[in-house]
Amino acid sequence: MQEKLDLLLKVAPQRINTGLRGAEKSGVYLFTENGAHLYVGRTKKVLRNRVREHVSVAEDCPFAFRLAREATNNCVAVYRGEGTRKTLLKNTLFRNAYEKAKSRIREMDVRWISEPDALGQTLLEIYVAVTLATPYNDLDTH
């Protein structure tokens, strides 16, 4: 796993708005801001498409949602009643923070490494998140 992490960190970073050249395969990706590694994810889809989903118009941008939760002090995930994803997105203050988070992510560096095997992706995502202590990865079950 360390060898793959080293390869990931050696990849020249790009930005979402540059087109993410070379991200046509499945694998693991890493968002970095000002040298701080913040979030690692994986996908069995085309990497470019999954990374773009983090800033899409849709309401399912998990990294942006975590950033918005932090910005609005709604850090505890709630699955019923007030504080659910659906109710938070109806709140103007939260919605503004969510959109601001997506803009922030657009400016972050993105690196990725191809990993076609689903188990390999899972293990690498966990390894990278734990080794780099990415603060916005939640490895807890819900």
Residue 140 lies in a domain: no
pLDDT tens, position by position, for the chain (142 residues)?
999 999 999 999 999 887 777 777 889 999 999 999 999 999 998 888 888 888 987 777 889 999 999 999 988 878 887 788 889 999 999 999 999 999 999 999 999 999 999 999 999 999 999 999 999 998 765 4
Residue 137 lies in a domain: no
Torsion of CA 9, 15, 19, 24, to 10 degrees: 30
Select from 23, 68, 57 the least CA-distant residue to 41.
23
H runs (alpha helix) in 11-90: 47-53, 62-71, 85-90
Environment class of residue 110 by beta-carbon count within 10 Å: exposed (0-12), middle (13-18) or buried (19+)? Answer: buried
Residue 128 lies in a domain: yes
Residue 142 lies in a domain: no
Confidence at residue 129, expressed as pLDDT on a 0 to 100 scale: 97
Per the structure, how many domains does the chain have? 1
DSSP secondary structure code for residue 116 in this structure: -
Residue 120 lies in a domain: yes
Residue 122 lies in a domain: yes
Confidence at residue 60, expressed as pLDDT on a 0 to 100 scale: 76
Residue 30 lies in a domain: yes
Q: What are phi and psi of 82, to 5 degrees?
A: -65, 140
Select from 14, 9, 28, 13 the least CA-distant residue to 113.
28
Confidence at residue 141, expressed as pLDDT on a 0 to 100 scale: 54
- Specify the pTM: 0.90
**Which domain CATH number covers 7?**
3.40.1440.10
**Exposure on the CB side of residue 71, measured as CA atoms within 13 A:** 18
Domain that holds residue 73: 2-132
Residue 139 lies in a domain: no
